[in-house]
Amino acid sequence: MIIPAIDLMDGKVVRLYQGDYSKKKYYNDDIYTRLCNYNIHAVKMIHIVDLDGAKNPNNRQIQLFKEILSKVDIPLQIGGGIRKEKDIETLFQAGTKRVVISSSAIINQKEVKRWFNIYGGNAIVLALDVLINKKKEKEILINGWKDHSKFILEYIINEFSEVGLKHVLCTDISKDGTLLGPNFILYKEISKLFPHIKFQSSGGVGSLNDISRLKSCGIHDVIIGRSLLEKKFSILEAVQCWQNA
């Protein structure tokens, strides 16, 4: 399915270029108008990145999420700086459908596996940001893409599959925010290698053709941010393209 992405900072819609806080662009969007439009066009999930929470877990935009959920009847998956179990509990208590965990899954694997055992694979999305290195390995980057983890994508997926991993949001960081097209080779390869995983692609989608090609790669969901914000196509066109691909 098509999953629109909204990055939020100080309650405003914003996009970072390749994860860089110094390269941000604010959009003069009314959040609720946009979300209601998604609701009208049968969007089944919205991906929200809490950029404030990613920087400081004590500054999570929980009240805003509660307001969104009170006005829009669409499930949310929310990520951004989830480091402790209380972060997960806070989001679930606010009404979040799924939490998105990234760096913590690499830094604190044992603890995150425990969370899978508590909440189950349908409640947690692993966000794995990869850089194709000189050895052609899918190396995972962490901490806002600042640090190389020395772990590769395949190893982490195998590790968490043992505790019920079902959803993986995979981003080729070289493509994020570029509108230059996703890494189709990457998604085709991992979808074939891990048929039990519902992969969410993220990064690079700039046209409806990109959506069609991603579906042919075996991807389960496509996360789209900048293209929708900058009106490269409408949410209705994206949903119809996915359905007809």
* Cα 187–Cα 193–Cα 196 angle in degrees, nearest 5: 95
Q: Is 219 exposed, middle or buried (0-12, 13-18, 19+ CB in 10 A)?
A: buried
Is 172 an annotated catalytic residue?
A: no
The answer to whether 226 and 202 have CB atoms below 8 angstroms apart is: no
The answer to whether 82 and 101 have CB atoms below 8 angstroms apart is: yes
- Cα–Cα distance between 127 and 171 in angstroms, integer? 8
Is 7 an annotated catalytic residue?
A: yes
Catalytic residue among 7, 50, 210, 221: 7
In the numeric block, which tokens belong to residue 161?
Answer: 């599959």
Which residues face 200 on adjacent strands?
169, 221
Catalytic residue among 52, 87, 129, 210: 129
- Residue ranges of E strands in 91-166: 98-101, 124-132, 138-142, 147-152
The label of the residue with tokens 């989608």 reads 205
Residues serving a catalytic function are 7, 129
